[in-house]
A and B are shown apart, each in its own frame.
Chain A
């Protein structure tokens, strides 16, 4: 086999096994960096790195998770520093069933949950995700939007499963709280009597 042919073969395999996940990685990069230029840079760097280390990738193992691991590493090391997201939040006073409780308190006359889910728009949800601190945003994106398991998220972010679960738990609370605030601000629901 000539060098040219082996290059083509590598390219073909890379295209079929790695680049097939481009769309999903780009989507996540957009949610991570919050702008198209950075997202496309981040994704390109991810694939260049993957290309360089392609011979270290074990055929048959989870390529998508491997690419996500590379990408989150680059993101954390390079983009996090300039990220405007707050790094800590105070959730002490937020109950687990915060949103559910608020909606239930609106009364039985109409179905408040249905109304809420109908009235809160895409942009509100995207905005609420964007406003989360990176640690929580990453696990919410990986779990809710990309469907990774706890174990996969733990591997991708290099944290243990307990941390994944607690960040996901706090991420949920945070998201519910800010979506409720959106709904109140936009007048979709009237704040329930506290």
Chain B
């Protein structure tokens, strides 16, 4: 092994990432090459030097208490959605209850059905990454493609980002047999998806609300998600987030007919 080859593996060895074979070969070289050995030792000392001097001490007891307390409060604030953790007895009671509810009030089943057929497919596409790049450069090409599609074919524009929202990517998704332009925003730690389709899709009549006394929208909020939908000209716009707590109505005025 030559010096150049050994030095190429230098950091892999220092970081304990080299294969056994490589490590053995490099070590053999180091035994005989004083120059490489001192360089290797230097990098090793440098790493532990930085780890040592860069370390910070922190007291987190209070923080831990705070977090546990707030998590408990969050749990009380949101309804449950994990029946798989319940005991059989509880499931039996729940089943009996839902049977009674089915008989006496068929609308709850309808709610469930609406959630499954309408919300879940969008939630699914919202949660999937679909090649959106968040950490590095946004996919400018795809963003442009989606903007052009919205402008030229749907005559819609997304003119600006509302405050606290940042556009991070776009693409196309096929959901329930329809093609949707999918524009993704982040708002703090939360990701929000905007799905736009040029068709008048039949949508469930969730709770009807009005934005600035002019735009009607329908809203669904449950323990783990939030969905708004509204019409913009002949187009259907659906906003989805996995955080039921944030205000997504800020997205309504940014989709405009151009």
The yes or no answer to B86 lying at the interface (CB within 8 A) is yes
User: Is there contact, CB below 8 Å, between A117 and B49?
Assistant: yes
The docked-state distance in angstroms from the alpha carbon of A176 to that of B86 is 56
Q: Which residues of B contact A62 (CB under 8 A)?
A: none
**Given contacts A44-B66, A52-B224, A150-B15, is CB(A144)–CB(B51) below 8 Å?**
yes
Contacting residues of chain B (28-75) with chain A, CB-CB under 8 angstroms: 39, 42-43, 45-47, 49-51, 53-56, 58, 60, 63-64, 66-68, 70-72, 74-75
In-complex Cβ contact of A22 among B67, B136, B166, B186 (8 A): B67
The docked-state distance in angstroms from the alpha carbon of A74 to that of B64 is 19
**Given contacts A1-B87, A27-B58, A73-B134, is CB(A113)–CB(B75) below 8 Å?**
no
In-complex Cβ contact of B189 among A49, A125, A149 (8 A): A49
Most buried by A among B64, B85, B168, B243: B64
Q: Does more than half of chain B's interface fall in helix, strand or loop, or is it mixed?
A: helix
Report the contact-size class of chain B (Cβ under 8 Å from the partner).
Answer: 35 or more
**Given contacts A7-B75, A76-B135, A113-B45, is CB(A19)–CB(B67) below 8 Å?**
yes
Closest to B70 in A: A48
User: Is there contact, CB below 8 Å, between A11 and B189?
Assistant: no
The yes or no answer to B177 lying at the interface (CB within 8 A) is no
The yes or no answer to B113 lying at the interface (CB within 8 A) is no
Q: Using an 8 Å CB-CB cutoff, how does the interface string of A115-150 with B read, 1 for contact, 0 for none?
A: 001001110111001000000000011011100011
The yes or no answer to B17 lying at the interface (CB within 8 A) is yes
User: Is there contact, CB below 8 Å, between A150 and B58?
Assistant: no
Q: Which residues of A contact B87 (CB under 8 A)?
A: 1
The yes or no answer to B80 lying at the interface (CB within 8 A) is yes
Smallest CB separation, B132 vs chain A (Å): 10
Q: Using an 8 Å CB-CB cutoff, how does the interface string of B68-106 with A read, 1 for contact, 0 for none?
A: 101110110000101001110010000000000000000
Most buried by A among B11, B45, B71, B224: B71
**Given contacts A26-B63, A45-B189, A158-B135, is CB(A97)–CB(B49) below 8 Å?**
no
Q: Using an 8 Å CB-CB cutoff, how does the interface string of A30-61 with B read, 1 for contact, 0 for none?
A: 11000000001001110111011001000000
**Given contacts A11-B68, A51-B71, is CB(A117)–CB(B58) below 8 Å?**
no
The tally of residues in A whose CB lies under 8 Å from a CB in B reads 62
Q: Which residues of B contact A175 (CB under 8 A)?
A: 50
User: Is there contact, CB below 8 Å, between A27 and B71?
Assistant: no
User: Is there contact, CB below 8 Å, between B134 and A158?
Assistant: yes
**Given contacts A113-B45, A117-B49, A176-B46, is CB(A55)–CB(B82) below 8 Å?**
yes
User: Is there contact, CB below 8 Å, between A6 and B71?
Assistant: no
Q: Which residues of B contact A188 (CB under 8 A)?
A: none
User: Is there contact, CB below 8 Å, between A74 and B67?
Assistant: no
Q: Which residues of B contact A159 (CB under 8 A)?
A: 135-136
Q: Using an 8 Å CB-CB cutoff, how does the interface string of B234-252 with A read, 1 for contact, 0 for none?
A: 0000000001000000000
User: Is there contact, CB below 8 Å, between A117 and B74?
Assistant: no
Q: Using an 8 Å CB-CB cutoff, how does the interface string of B113-137 with A read, 1 for contact, 0 for none?
A: 0000000000000000000001110
The docked-state distance in angstroms from the alpha carbon of A136 to that of B45 is 20
User: Is there contact, CB below 8 Å, between A172 and B11?
Assistant: yes
7 example contacts (A-B, Cβ-Cβ < 8 A) are as follows A11-B72, A15-B68, A73-B134, A74-B189, A78-B189, A126-B53, A169-B11
Interface residues of A, Cβ cutoff 8 Å to B: 1, 3, 6-7, 10-11, 14-15, 19, 22-23, 26-27, 30-31, 40, 43-45, 47-49, 51-52, 55, 70, 73-74, 76-78, 81, 96-97, 99-100, 103, 113, 117, 120-122, 124-126, 129, 140-141, 143-145, 149-150, 157-159, 165, 168-169, 172, 175-176
Given contacts A1-B90, A14-B68, A125-B53, could you give 4 more A-B pairs where the C-beta distance is less than 8 Å?
A55-B82, A120-B49, A121-B53, A158-B134
